[in-house]
Amino acid sequence: MRFGVVVFPGTWSDCDFHYVISEVIRQPVKYVWHRERNLADLDCVVLPGGFSYGDYLRAGAVAGRSPVVEALPEFVAGGGVVLGSCNGFQILCEAGLLPGALMRNECLQYRCQSTHLLVENAETPFTRALRPGQVLTMPISHGEGKYHADPETLRTLRAHKQVVFRYATAAGEVTRAANPNGSVENIAGIVNEDGTVLGLMPHPERAAESAMGGTDGLQIFHSLLGSLVEDGAFLKR
């Protein structure tokens, strides 16, 4: 499976995703500069974490209008999948590829901590190796990760099973105390209607090796590879 990790000015999880893809799951991967529009040779585009353009406007606002992001709808229409983590999730929302918005954390402070995620939808290419109700442990690191959407959008999200992960306790209870940033309905990650674009605030690439404290993040990558191997559903050619 061919991965492309996008680099915007200010991106910083690019090297981490590149490392996990090439050294841990051992798949072909290359960096994609933000001015690139040609994604034809890729199966999965990763929008990594960081502070694209410093997030000096709104987080992800400038990057959401960059050439590479403008090329994503065509890429997805052609059978590609897109994984946006942290700043990548913010960018996908800013670009309108995912509904809703990410706002300043309710505590008004940056939060770097471990979180538990309840898997709600295991029928996407990103979660196929998981089962609903499973609890994953993954760290977050952000100042603007409070997911927000209007009631109508939330209804649509529920109707199409677009909510993939919710912040929960270790036992899988979705509680207010388990919500690190004040996200509406504890939402930590969502997909588009087709399930081909995933945005999540947590960092799967930081939970991909036991030396780093856990391998739950790896399951997202394994799901992608498994999907590819099993049915080739999102193989582009």
Partner 1 sequence: MGAEPKVTLDLARGLGLTADEYDRIIHRLGREPSYTELGLFSALWSEHCAYKHSKVFLARLPQRGPHVLQGPGENAGALDIGDGWAVVFKIESHNHPSFIEPFQGAATGVGGILRDIFTMGARPIAILDSLRFGDPADAKTRRLIQGVVSGISWYGNCFGCPTVGGEIAFAPEYAGNPLVNVMCVGLVRADRIFRARAEGVGNPVFYVGNKTGRDGIHGATMASATFDEHAEERRPTVQVGDPFTEKLLLEACLEAMATGAVVGIQDMGAAGLACCTSEMPGRSGTGMAVELSAVPQREEGMTPYELLLSESQERMLLVGARGREEELRRVFAKWELDAVRIGEVTAGPDLVVRHRGEEVARVPVEALAEAPRYEKPYAPPAGLAALQAFDPMTLPEPPDCAEALVALLGSPAIASKEWAYRQYDQQVGINTLVLPGSDASVLRVKGTRRAIAVAVDGNGRHVFLDPRRGAAMAVCEAARNVSCAGGRPLGVTDCLNFGSPERPEILWQLAEAVEGIAEACRALEVPVVGGNVSLYNETVPAVGATPQAILPTPIVGVVGLLEDAGLLATQWFKAAGERIALLGPEAVSLGGSEYLWARHGRVAGRLAPLDLEIERRVQGAVRAAIDAGLATAAHDCAEGGVAVTLAEACVTGRTPIGCEATLSAGGRRDQTLFGEGPSRVVVSVGSARQREFEALMAESAIPWRWIGTTGGDRLRLRMGTETVVDVGLDRLEHAWRNGFERHMA
Point out the catalytic residue in the list 94, 120, 144, 205: 205
Contact by Cβ (8 Å): 125, 220: no
Is residue 135 a contact residue for partner 1 (CB under 8 A)?
A: no
Look up residue 34 and give its two tokens.
Answer: 């933000």
Q: Per-residue x/- marks for partner 1, 92-131, CB under 8 A?
A: -----------------xxxxx------------------
- β partners of residue 209: 214
Question: Does the annotation count 93 as an active-site position?
Answer: no
Strands 3-7 and 29-33: parallel
Is residue 139 a contact residue for partner 1 (CB under 8 A)?
A: yes
Strands (E), the chain: 3-7, 29-33, 44-47, 81-85, 101-103, 111-119, 135-142, 146-148, 163-168, 187-191, 197-200
Of the candidate residues 12, 36, 79, 134, the single one contacting partner 1 (CB under 8 A): 12
Is residue 56 a contact residue for partner 1 (CB under 8 A)?
A: yes
Point out the catalytic residue in the list 18, 44, 86, 120: 86
Q: How far apart are the first and last CA of the chain?
A: 12
Q: Per-residue x/- marks for partner 1, 164-203, CB under 8 A?
A: ---------------------------------------x
Contact by Cβ (8 Å): 39, 45: yes
- Measure the CA–CA gap between 217 and 27, rounded to whole angstroms: 16
State which residue, 108 or 229, has the beta carbon closest to partner 1. 108
Question: Does the annotation count 203 as an active-site position?
Answer: yes
State which residue, 10 or 79, has the beta carbon closest to partner 1. 10
- How open is the CA angle 176-102-187, to the nearest 5 degrees? 40
**Residues with a known catalytic role:** 86, 203, 205
Report the interface residues with partner 1, using CB under 8 A. Answer: 9-10, 12-13, 15-16, 19-20, 49-51, 53-56, 109-113, 139, 141, 143, 203, 205-206, 208-209, 211-212
